[in-house]
């Protein structure tokens, strides 16, 4: 490029004295003239600006013809604005056409610029340096820069030394094919401010496995950390697909954009139809709000967590937390309407963290409970996400169906799923048994039965056999293998062909045969004398070997024995009440009853059931316990 003969601070002096005076005089005249026409040249002292001859100067404004160039020295570094050309840029339907132009402020900083770069290189806008390819369109005004790169790739701006970034950039690709953001292409513009990326101008955008709806064009920061971030001054979406974490938050009084998770996703949300619909939104508050989904370990449904307000669509049903009322709500219908039609089946997940801000501190919003949501349009609160009680089976007040965070309980009610999760082999001994095991309802029933016994008891069983018959059953142990045989009759009181009480009775045998805890069951039960007192049925009365299993079978799901004596009576009014109390405690100690059921039994009698009390009941009849 041909340099101008004209320079503000550089002079080309000749030695000839005869021209010196003339030249100085001419220069003085020119300087005076420039000073009259463009006095700003004095005011941008400290900024070195070279420009070619094809330029109009109007105050601090330098307007070029296409092909014009400019060198700017800012913060002691030179930046070449080479072979600039006319910019023609369309954004959101608005077309901007401008001749190349650069405008400086008082301090010598570029405050406005319009051009297309003619060469690859570093360009400075405001306090920020950009590495731009040849052919990049730049529109910069009022602290906002629109940059259209010729390909998909751009480099994040950096600040000039000792300077603070103050420009809000938006990067586009030519033809809006999308700019690369990590491994993703962002169409409609990707913003950048002071080290943070954001989206703002898209009504709706797909990003990896989510769709973001932002019709109000709220600035929404995006990162790939998968972390809650209170530092963002606005809404944000933070995703870590490797670890299966997705967070949407808002630290201002505007909601985050709505997010819909796609069927194929990294967060463990399982959709059993293309219509399934899982969408959420954080309500926004200066106290900070967020909604988070986290993939669990294999086989477990995802966990969710929120701080303050959120809305969650579970297909055509919704949950939301009202931050002002500090309450969690359920409603039929979709609260988030941005994503069209929804299916009718919920997506299984567990709300394990529910938090609110109170007096500037974050505290639990729903106590120590978790909210379980099943794949069957069911939800319930409970303490243990593995099994949250939903409702009891007919005529079995101690036997519940529920909600579990096991994927197989929600999505794979099959023999294979059951065997994989429980380690218990299911064997169909005839066609009736096969038919029984092929029915998902029966699989759920079997899960419910297993959830009603202590884990230690579950581990004592290896095989469960099913065949037609009249409702008889037996448990057998062969060496290390424990097999239980069940016959299937007509529907029992619980509504299933397998009697819950019979199942529990046989499992009582299993605990008995396996000796309970450290093989102490028999000693605690028989040697203490409980066996001759805790007789709950005629069958138990007739056969001493059936007393433990009858005791467990009767009281696991029912509140009275076969003689219609209530638990309350036996534990409070019966002459042998101390023995009955000890019997329940011994059954609990030896994995016959869950602690939960043990608590229910004692609470029906108005008796304490903390561990010390349970030990006390046993000691009172002379049973030694550690």
Partner 1 sequence: MLRKIWKKSQISPFVIIAIIILAVIIVYFGLKPDDSNKISPEIFPLFNFVENCVQKTTGDAIYNIGETGGYFFAPDLSIDGIAYYFYEKEDYMPSKEKIEDELNKYVNNMLFFCTKNFEDFKDYEVKQEKIETKTIIEDEKVVFNIDYQLSVKKGGDSYLIEEFELEVPVRLGVIYKVVSEIMKEQMEEKEAVCISCIGELAEENDLFVDLRDYENDTIIFYVIDRNSEINEEVYVFNFANRYEK
Q: Which is nearer to partner 1, 364 or 613 (CB)?
A: 364
How far apart CA 24 and CA 31 sit, in angstroms, is: 10
Number of residues that bind partner 1 (CB under 8 A): 35
Taking CB under 8 A as the criterion, the residue among 163, 180, 392, 565 binding partner 1 is 392
SS3 content of the chain, % helix, strand, coil (to 5): 25, 35, 40
Q: Which is nearer to partner 1, 159 or 380 (CB)?
A: 380
**Does residue 395 bind partner 1 (CB under 8 A)?**
yes
User: Which 191-250 positions form the footprint of partner 1 (CB under 8 A)?
Assistant: none
List alpha helices for 498-589, DSSP H: 500-514, 521-522, 538-542, 547-555, 567-568, 577-589
Which span (63-71, 105-113, 379-387, 503-511) binds partner 1, by CB under 8 A?
A: 379-387
Within its chain, how far is the Cα of 226 from the centroid?
9
**Does residue 328 bind partner 1 (CB under 8 A)?**
yes
**Does residue 569 bind partner 1 (CB under 8 A)?**
no
SS3 305: strand
**Does residue 320 bind partner 1 (CB under 8 A)?**
yes
Within its chain, how far is the Cα of 602 from the centroid?
40
Taking CB under 8 A as the criterion, the residue among 379, 521, 602, 609 binding partner 1 is 379
- Residue 332 CB, shortest distance to partner 1, in Å, is 6
Which regions of 262-368 does DSSP assign to beta strands (E)?
278-282, 289-294, 303-307, 310-314, 317-322, 327-332, 349-358, 361-364
How far apart CA 504 and CA 482 sit, in angstroms, is: 15
**Does residue 533 bind partner 1 (CB under 8 A)?**
no
User: Which 594-613 positions form the footprint of partner 1 (CB under 8 A)?
Assistant: 600, 603-604
Taking CB under 8 A as the criterion, the residue among 243, 273, 377, 472 binding partner 1 is 377
**Does residue 571 bind partner 1 (CB under 8 A)?**
no
Q: Are strands 303-307 and 349-358 parallel, antiparallel or unpaired?
A: parallel
What phi and psi, each to the nearest 5 degrees, are found at residue 393?
-75, 150
Annotate each residue in 334-373 with x if it binds partner 1 (CB under 8 A) or - if it does not, as one string: --------------------x----------xxx-x-x--
In the 3-class helix/strand/coil scheme, how is 416-459 assigned residue by residue?
A: HHHHHHHCCEEEECCHHHHHHHCCHHHHHHHHHHHHCCCHHHHC
**Does residue 138 bind partner 1 (CB under 8 A)?**
no
DSSP letter for each residue of 128-152 = EEEEE-TT-EEEEETTEEEEEESSS
Taking CB under 8 A as the criterion, the residue among 20, 134, 327, 624 binding partner 1 is 327
- Residue 366 CB, shortest distance to partner 1, in Å, is 5
Taking CB under 8 A as the criterion, the residue among 19, 230, 330, 595 binding partner 1 is 330
What phi and psi, each to the nearest 5 degrees, are found at residue 298?
-55, 135
Q: Which is nearer to partner 1, 14 or 332 (CB)?
A: 332
Q: Which is nearer to partner 1, 103 or 366 (CB)?
A: 366
Q: Which positions lie near partner 1, rule CB under 8 A? A: 317-320, 322, 325, 327-333, 354, 365-367, 369, 371, 377, 379-381, 389-392, 394-395, 397-398, 559, 600, 603-604
């Amino acid at each position: 490029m041909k340099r101008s003969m004209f320079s503000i601070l550089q002079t080309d002096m000749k030695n000839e004295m005869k021209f010196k005076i003339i030249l100085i005089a001419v220069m003085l005249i020119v300087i005076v003239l420039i000073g009259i026409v463009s006095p700003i040249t004095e005011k941008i002292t400290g900024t070195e600006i070279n420009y070619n001859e094809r330029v109009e100067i109007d105050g601090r404004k330098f307007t070029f013809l296409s092909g014009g160039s400019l060198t700017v020295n800012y913060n002691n570094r030179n930046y070449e604005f080479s072979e600039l050309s006319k910019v023609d840029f369309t954004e959101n339907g608005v077309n901007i056409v401008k001749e190349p132009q650069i405008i400086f402020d008082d301090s010598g900083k570029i405050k406005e610029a319009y051009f297309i770069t003619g060469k690859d290189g570093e360009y400075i806008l405001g306090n920020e340096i950009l590495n731009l390819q040849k052919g990049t369109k730049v529109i910069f005004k009022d602290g906002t820069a629109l940059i259209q790169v010729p390909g998909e790739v751009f480099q994040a701006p950096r600040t000039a030394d000792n300077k603070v970034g103050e420009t809000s950039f938006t990067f586009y690709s030519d033809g809006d094919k999308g700019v690369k953001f990590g491994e993703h292409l962002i169409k409609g513009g990707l913003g950048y401010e002071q080290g943070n990326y954001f989206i703002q101008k898209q009504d709706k955008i797909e990003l990896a496995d989510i769709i973001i709806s932002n019709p109000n064009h709220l600035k929404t920061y995006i990162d790939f950390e998968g972390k809650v971030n209170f530092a963002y001054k606005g809404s944000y979406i933070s995703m870590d697909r490797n670890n299966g974490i997705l967070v949407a938050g808002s630290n201002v009084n505007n909601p985050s954009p709505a997010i819909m998770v796609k069927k194929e996703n990294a967060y463990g949300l399982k959709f059993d139809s293309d219509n399934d619909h899982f969408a959420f939104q954080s309500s926004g508050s200066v106290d900070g709000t967020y909604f988070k989904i986290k993939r669990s370990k294999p086989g477990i449904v995802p966990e969710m967590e929120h701080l303050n307000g959120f809305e969650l669509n579970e297909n055509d049903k919704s949950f939301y937390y009202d931050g002002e009322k500090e309450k969690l709500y359920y409603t039929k219908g979709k609260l988030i309407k941005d994503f069209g039609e929804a299916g009718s089946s919920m997506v299984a997940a567990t709300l394990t963290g529910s938090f609110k801000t109170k007096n500037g501190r974050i505290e639990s919003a729903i106590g120590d409970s978790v909210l379980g949501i099943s794949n069957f349009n069911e939800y319930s609160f409970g303490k243990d996400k593995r099994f949250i009680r939903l409702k009891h089976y007919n005529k079995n007040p101690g036997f519940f169906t529920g909600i579990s965070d096991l994927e197989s309980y929600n999505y794979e009610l099959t023999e294979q799923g059951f065997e994989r999760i429980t380690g218990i082999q299911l064997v169909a001994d005839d066609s009736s048994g096969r038919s029984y095991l092929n029915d998902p309802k029966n699989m759920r029933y079997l899960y419910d039965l297993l959830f009603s016994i202590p884990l230690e008891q579950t581990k004592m069983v290896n095989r469960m056999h099913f065949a037609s018959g009249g409702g008889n059953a037996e448990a057998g142990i062969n060496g290390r293998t424990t097999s239980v045989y069940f016959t299937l009759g007509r529907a029992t009181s619980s509504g299933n062909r397998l009697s819950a009480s019979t199942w529990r009775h046989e499992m009582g045998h299993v605990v008995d045969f396996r000796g309970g805890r450290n093989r102490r069951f028999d000693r605690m039960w028989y040697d203490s004398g409980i066996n001759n007192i805790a007789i709950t049925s005629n069958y138990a009365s007739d056969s001493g070997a059936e007393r433990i299993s009858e005791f467990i079978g009767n009281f696991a799901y029912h509140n009275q024995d076969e003689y219609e004596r209530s638990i309350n009576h036996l534990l409070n009014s019966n002459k042998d009440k101390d023995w009955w109390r000890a019997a329940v405690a011994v059954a609990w100690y030896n994995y016959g009853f869950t602690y939960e059921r043990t608590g229910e039994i004692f609470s029906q009698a108005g008796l304490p059931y903390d561990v010390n009390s349970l030990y006390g009941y046993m000691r009172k009849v002379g049973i030694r316990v550690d």
